Amino acid sequence: MQLMDRLRSAFDAILTRWPTALGGQRLRLTFWKNRFAYCGRDVRLGDQLVISGFPAIRIGEGTSIMSGSYLYANEGGHLEIGSHCSFNHNVLLGASGGEIVIGDDVLIGPNTVLRASDHKFSDTEMPIRLQGHRSGKIVIGANVWLAANVVVTSDVTIGAGCVVGAGSVVTRDLPPMAICAGNPAQPIRSRLLQVAVE
């Protein structure tokens, strides 16, 4: 079994580097589709992807994941991506040891990080790297736009229709249909009323 795992890893390394211009998207989808828990029609997988935990990842129809992105769902994790989502370059979805659920029609800008679990650090006598992780969950509602360089920490829900400005750090829940920004991110106005939120 170890030999098969090593051969599969070597094949994945070749496949992920296969240029999109030379049919890489089609090849990746052909060889990876059945390894996911679910992979819908018309999914586009860019090159230089790093994917770990295929059986715990679900991807809806028409979703596009651009080059250099990372999808992690090992260590008991779960990653669910809705339909018609678009993830820009270098997006990290870290569901290992936790859960990330992303609704339909979500846009995620380049260099964005979602991490569902955190390092434990309560024992001051033990190195943090040896203390393990605390499981968490991130939920992103439908029709959300996370702009470039956003960070979303564990145990956060972002409501449907929310817009999160570039460089924001989301550490607590954000309401639906709000435009949010900052560190920590907070609502600055409503998309419905187009007036400042008090």
Stretch (H or E) spanning 163: strand 163-164
Q: Report residue 197 as tokens.
A: 């939120």
Answer yes or no: are the C-beta atoms of 152 and 170 closer than 8 Å.
yes
For the question of residue 119 being annotated catalytic, the response is yes
Q: Which CA distances in Å does 108 have to 65, 76, 85, 89, 142? A: 10, 24, 8, 9, 12
Q: Which of 78, 84, 89, 119 is catalytic?
A: 119
Closest of 83, 66, 84, 89 to residue 20, by C-alpha:
66
Q: Report residue 120 as tokens.
A: 């434990």
Phi, psi of 164 (to 5 degrees): -115, 120
Answer yes or no: are the C-beta atoms of 59 and 81 closer than 8 Å.
yes
Alpha helices in the chain (DSSP H): 2-17, 24-32
**Annotated catalytic sites, by residue?**
119
